[in-house]
C-alpha cells in the first residue's frame, strides 16, 4: 500500500485521509464510509463534513458571528452654566439693570466732571492763552492738560469736549515736530473748548461738526510729528551725502 502524506496526515490506498494522530477526518469521495477510528468504531466522516459545510453555507453572516451585541446608547451631558443660574435666581442682577446702574453712576459724576473740566480749561487759558503766555511755554505742559480733559470726559461724552481736547493734543504734537508754536491755532482750540463746555447739550449737531472740521483744517497746516521726523531724517541724509561727494571731489 502506497501512502502519501503531508504535515497534517497521510492518505492510505483507498484515498482516505488520516491525521497523524491516527484517526480519520476525511474521505476522497462521498461514497467512502465507515472508517475505523482509534476506538474501533466506524464513522461516516464524509457525510458529517458535508452536513457541516451545508449548514455553514445556509447560515446567515449574523448567525455565524454569534449573538449580536446590544447597541450602545449615546448619553448627552449638559454642562451647567453657574453664572446663568445665579442671574436667574430671585434677586439676581440682569444686564439691563447693570447698564442702568452704570448710567446712573455716570449721571451722578457729571457735575463733578464738568467742574474739573472747567478748571483744566481755565488753567490752559491762563498759561497758554494770548493774554498770559510769554512765548517760551513747553509743549508737554499743554499736552498733559489736554490729555487730562480726555481722561475725565466719559460722564459728559455727549458734549464732545474730549474731541476738541484730542485735536489740541494733535496740534501740540505738530508744533513740537517743527519746534515752534502755532499760537493762532492754539487760541482757536482754547475757544472751542470753552464753547463746548458752556453748551448744555442744545448745540445742533451740524454746528458742532463745523467746529471739529475747522480744528482739523488748522492742524493740517502743520506737518505731523512723524512727518517732521521723516523730513528731518531726509535732510540729514541729504547733508551727509553732500559732504561725502565734496570729500570725494577734493
171 half-sphere exposure, CB direction, 13 A CA radius: 26
**C-alpha–C-alpha distance, residues 48 and 27, integer Å:** 11
The alpha carbons of the chain give a radius of gyration, in whole angstroms, of 50
User: What's the confidence (pLDDT) of residue 1?
Assistant: 46
Query: What is the per-residue pLDDT across 76-109, written as a single tens digit (0 to 9) for each?
Result: 556 566 666 665 565 555 667 776 777 777 788 8
Q: Where are the domains of the chain?
A: 9-30+43-56, 112-226
Burial class, 171, CB count within 10 angstroms (exposed 0-12 / middle 13-18 / buried 19+) = buried
Higher-confidence residue of 24 and 180: namely: 180
Topology, domain 112-226: 1.20.120
Query: What is the per-residue pLDDT across 119-175, written as a single tens digit (0 to 9) for each?
Result: 999 999 999 999 888 878 899 999 999 999 999 998 999 999 999 999 999 999 999
pTM: 0.54
Examine the pLDDT at 21 and tell me if it is beyond 60: no
Amino acid at each position: 500500500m502506497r501512502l502519501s502524506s503531508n504535515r497534517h496526515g497521510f492518505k492510505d490506498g483507498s484515498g482516505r485521509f488520516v491525521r497523524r494522530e491516527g484517526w480519520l477526518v476525511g474521505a476522497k469521495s462521498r461514497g467512502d464510509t465507515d472508517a475505523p477510528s482509534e476506538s474501533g468504531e466506524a464513522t461516516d466522516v464524509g457525510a458529517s463534513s458535508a452536513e457541516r459545510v451545508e449548514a455553514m453555507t445556509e447560515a446567515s453572516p449574523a448567525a455565524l458571528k454569534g449573538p449580536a451585541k446590544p447597541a450602545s446608547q449615546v448619553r448627552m451631558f449638559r454642562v451647567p452654566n453657574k453664572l446663568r443660574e445665579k442671574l436667574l435666581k430671585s434677586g439676581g442682577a440682569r444686564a439691563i439693570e447693570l447698564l442702568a446702574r452704570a448710567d446712573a453712576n455716570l449721571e451722578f459724576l457729571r457735575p463733578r466732571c464738568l467742574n474739573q473740566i472747567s478748571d483744566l480749561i481755565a488753567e490752559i487759558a491762563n498759561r497758554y492763552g494770548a493774554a498770559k503766555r510769554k512765548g517760551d511755554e513747553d509743549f508737554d505742559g499743554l499736552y498733559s492738560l489736554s490729555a487730562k480733559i480726555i481722561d475725565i470726559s466719559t460722564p459728559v461724552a455727549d458734549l464732545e469736549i474730549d474731541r476738541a481736547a484730542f485735536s489740541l493734543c494733535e496740534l501740540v504734537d505738530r508744533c513740537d515736530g517743527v519746534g515752534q508754536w502755532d499760537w493762532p491755532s492754539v487760541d482757536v482750540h482754547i475757544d472751542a473748548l470753552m464753547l463746548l463746555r458752556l453748551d448744555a447739550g442744545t448745540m445742533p449737531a451740524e454746528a458742532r461738526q463745523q467746529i471739529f472740521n475747522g480744528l482739523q483744517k488748522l492742524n493740517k497746516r502743520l506737518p505731523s510729528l512723524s512727518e517732521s521726523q521723516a523730513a528731518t531724517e531726509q535732510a540729514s541724509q541729504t547733508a551727509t551725502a553732500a559732504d561725502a561727494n565734496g570729500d570725494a571731489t577734493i
